[in-house]
């Protein structure tokens, strides 16, 4: 369990070196946006990189809808039902205690596989438009993964280049 103190909603909920669920060590903040902060972490038990995504706002804060909080929690449970090879694997889920502006609360976090190949947005930014064959491969993979989700009644609601992740096999 971890605790954070801050006066700003943009403050990171976790600091490098902190450990959650007695096994996932925070290495560095790699992204933030919406209502969450994403960290690269290390599963100390299995010696593998992980991604730790934390809902970064107290559910009682102004401007935080109950729906956005519930959506974050539902995302973890939806991911746990999916088995398609092109779908992100979730490893764990929990809550951390946070304190902000003299208010205390619990915020959820999820631990999932760390995708070391960046995002589609990064690929296009760095390498430019992709050839038709690569575009078809990527779209096909996304459609296959979404097909499984839709078959289970799960709708993604946020398909965009920043949310299409890649892994480089054989690289940590």
Q: Sign (positive/negative) of CA torsion 165, 153, 158, 146?
A: positive
Active site residue 126: no
Residue 111 CA to residue 93 CA, distance in Å, equals: 6
Q: Are 101 and 7 in contact (CB under 8 A)?
A: yes
Q: Are 164 and 117 in contact (CB under 8 A)?
A: no
Catalytic annotation, pick one of 15, 101, 144, 158: 158
Tell me which residue of 108, 81, 79 sits closest to 95, measured CA to CA.
Answer: 108
Q: Are 101 and 89 in contact (CB under 8 A)?
A: no
Question: Could you give the residue ranges of the DSSP H alpha helices within 30-131?
Answer: 66-81, 120-127
Q: Are 110 and 93 in contact (CB under 8 A)?
A: yes
* DSSP three-state, residue 34: coil
Return the active site residues.
Answer: 158
């Amino acid at each position: 369990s971890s605790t954070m103190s801050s006066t700003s909603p943009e403050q990171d909920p976790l600091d490098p070196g902190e450990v959650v669920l007695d096994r996932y060590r925070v290495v560095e903040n790699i992204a933030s946006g919406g209502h969450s902060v994403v960290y690269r972490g290390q599963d100390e038990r299995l010696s593998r990189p992980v991604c730790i995504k934390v809902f970064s706002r107290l559910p009682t804060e102004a401007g935080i809808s109950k729906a956005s909080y519930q959506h974050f929690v539902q995302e973890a449970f939806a991911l746990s039902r999916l088995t398609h090879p092109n779908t992100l694997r979730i490893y764990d889920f929990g809550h951390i205690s946070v304190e902000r502006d003299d208010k205390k609360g619990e915020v959820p976090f999820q631990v999932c596989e760390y995708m070391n190949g960046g995002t589609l947005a990064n690929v296009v930014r760095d390498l430019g438009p992709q050839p038709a064959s690569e575009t078809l491969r990527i779209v096909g993979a996304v459609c296959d993964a979404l097909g499984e989700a839709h078959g289970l009644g799960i709708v993604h609601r946020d398909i965009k280049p920043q949310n299409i992740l890649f892994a480089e096999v054989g690289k940590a």
